[in-house]
Amino acid sequence: MSKQLGIDLGTANTLIYMKGKDIILREPSVVAIDRQRRRVLAVGEDAKRMLGKTPGGIEAQFPLKDGVIADFDITARMLNFFFSKIHASGIISRPVVVICIPYGVTEVERRAVEDATYEAGAKDVALVSEPIAAAIGSGLRINGPRGSMIVDIGGGTTEVAVLSLNGIVVSSSTRVAGNQLDDAIVQYMRDEHQVLIGRSTAEELKKKIGSVHPSTDIGEIEIRGSNLRSGLAASISISSAQIREALDLPVKQILEVIRRTLAGTPPELSADILSYGIMLSGGGALLGGLPRLISENTGVRVTVAKQPLESVVRGLGRIIEGSSDYPVEFRAR
Ligand code: ADP
Ligand code: MG
């Protein structure tokens, strides 16, 4: 018997739901490879720990960029590794997979996701648009003639979509998302404090004390980096207000995409969004103060999905369990 899987192949994280079970895998989308021997050394959490710390010849990388596959071969190997980890691969029991693709990608990018999934060992593959899965997984009812807006802020992209009757009516996306916020913190530390920090440290700062609205300020924490001029280790105290300053520009860009999409929404649907609000999903939804800031900026109520990092895969889970009436079409290779 084939296992049925729902896969959220994200720029930052990959999650897998197994039919009849639940979410059975949550790992960063990272692969560490030995370039010379062309061997995979580590995948997922183990590989993420190596980021920025590898010696020459070894490379830890994210095979997806901005929501799409940047390295086909490495992506297929990563998926194959995850299949073995959850015991879903084997000659007799190749998995049947429903996997997400961002809305608005090219045909070539679509095919890359499909082919990489087959390459990894899948028997049949069906593709579902990410905003649809995120909406279903956030608990939105999208099958009726009622407009809902979902904003998914991941690692590489922010996707905004207005849904009605199981389809996408309006959508926009931007490459400003979690990674760009981390980069903005790295740059701020360099420009304003002459301290070099790595991306992982920046991400940690964002998660621990990040606050884009004064009402959610947490306080200060001590971080380590190296002094830009002397190159020596430096320790510095950083506050939520400083992180807010660092994130100002990318956060404004995210607000702008949401506002633009609202402005381009047909009036009947925007009336629905006004009454039912905007749903936020993806890891970026956890950024302190963001729901409130979006709400103040748009005049629309904002709800954060219960487990925003899991919305997409939970949506796929509901689709494969048959508890959503969203139709999927498998394409055997
Ligand atoms: P993707 O779908 O692109 O893989 P995810 O939805 O898994 O992305 O979200 C990953 C992003 O969410 C990362 O940029 C991460 O830093 C960010 N993130 C996770 N937790 C938090 C948090 N508590 N505060 C702010 N950002 C967060
Ligand atoms: Mg995602």
- Which ligand is nearest to the Cα of residue 177, counting in written order? 1
Of 51, 79, 67, the residue nearest 199 (C-alpha)? 51
Residue 139 has pLDDT above 90, yes or no: yes
For ligand 1, whether the C-beta of 208 sits within 6 Å is no
E strands, 77-137, are 96-101, 124-129
Q: What pLDDT is recorded for position 35? A: 86
Residue 210 has pLDDT above 70, yes or no: yes
Specify which residues 126 forms β-bridges with: 98
pLDDT digits (tens, 9 = 90+) for 96-118: 999 999 998 999 999 999 999 99
Q: What pLDDT is recorded for position 114? A: 97
**R_g of the chain computed on alpha carbons:** 20
Domain extents for the chain? 4-132+312-332, 134-176+249-307, 178-247
Backbone angles phi, psi at 316, to 5 degrees: -65, -40
Of 254, 110, 230, 111, the residue nearest 178 (C-alpha)? 254
- Superfamily of segment(s) 178-247: ATPase, substrate binding domain, subdomain 4 (3.90.640.10)
Pairing of strands 233-239, 220-227: antiparallel
> Quick one: what percent of the chain has pLDDT higher than 70?
98
Q: pTM of whole model > 0.85?
A: yes
Judge whether 140 and 311 are in contact, CB under 8 Å.
Answer: no
Q: How far apart are the first and last CA of the chain?
A: 19
How far is Cα 41 from Cα 95, in angstroms, rounded to an integer? 24
Specify which residues 236 forms β-bridges with: 223
- Supply the DSSP string of 203-254, one letter for each residue: HHHHHHH-BSSGGG---EEEEEEEETTT--EEEEEEEHHHHHHHHHHHHHHH
- Tell me the CA–centroid distance for residue 44 and ligand 2, in Å: 16
* Ligand 1 atom 20: residue of nearest CA: 283
How far is Cα 269 from Cα 163, in angstroms, rounded to an integer? 9
Q: What is the atom index within ligand 1 of the atom nearest the CA of 203?
A: 16
Can you read off the two tokens belonging to residue 301?
């109520």
For ligand 1, whether the C-beta of 282 sits within 6 Å is yes
For ligand 1, whether the C-beta of 207 sits within 6 Å is yes
pLDDT digits (tens, 9 = 90+) for 154-199: 999 999 999 999 999 999 999 999 999 999 999 999 999 999 999 9
- Tell me the CA–centroid distance for residue 11 and ligand 2, in Å: 7
Average pLDDT over residues 3-11: 97
Of 198, 326, 190, 184, the residue nearest 243 (C-alpha)? 184
pLDDT digits (tens, 9 = 90+) for 217-250: 999 999 999 999 999 999 999 999 999 999 999 9
Residue 90 has pLDDT above 70, yes or no: no
For ligand 1, whether the C-beta of 137 sits within 6 Å is no
pLDDT digits (tens, 9 = 90+) for 18-50: 999 999 999 999 999 998 888 999 999 999 999
CATH 3.30.420.40 fits 134-176+249-307, yes or no: yes
Cα 31 vs. chain centroid, distance in angstroms?
A: 17
- Tell me the CA–centroid distance for residue 92 and ligand 2, in Å: 31
Mean pLDDT of the chain: 95
Pairing of strands 278-281, 13-18: unpaired
Q: Do domains 4-132+312-332 and 134-176+249-307 have the same CATH topology?
A: yes
For ligand 1, whether the C-beta of 152 sits within 6 Å is no
Q: What pLDDT is recorded for position 91? A: 65
Average pLDDT over residues 129-136: 97
39-42: long-range contacts at Cβ-Cβ below 8 A with a sequence spacing of 24 or more? 40/77, 40/81
Cα 93 vs. chain centroid, distance in angstroms?
A: 29
Architecture of domain 4-132+312-332: 2-Layer Sandwich (3.30)
Average pLDDT over residues 134-155: 97
pLDDT digits (tens, 9 = 90+) for 258-290: 999 999 999 999 999 999 999 999 999 999 999
- Tell me the CA–centroid distance for residue 67 and ligand 1, in Å: 13
How far is Cα 261 from Cα 134, in angstroms, rounded to an integer? 17
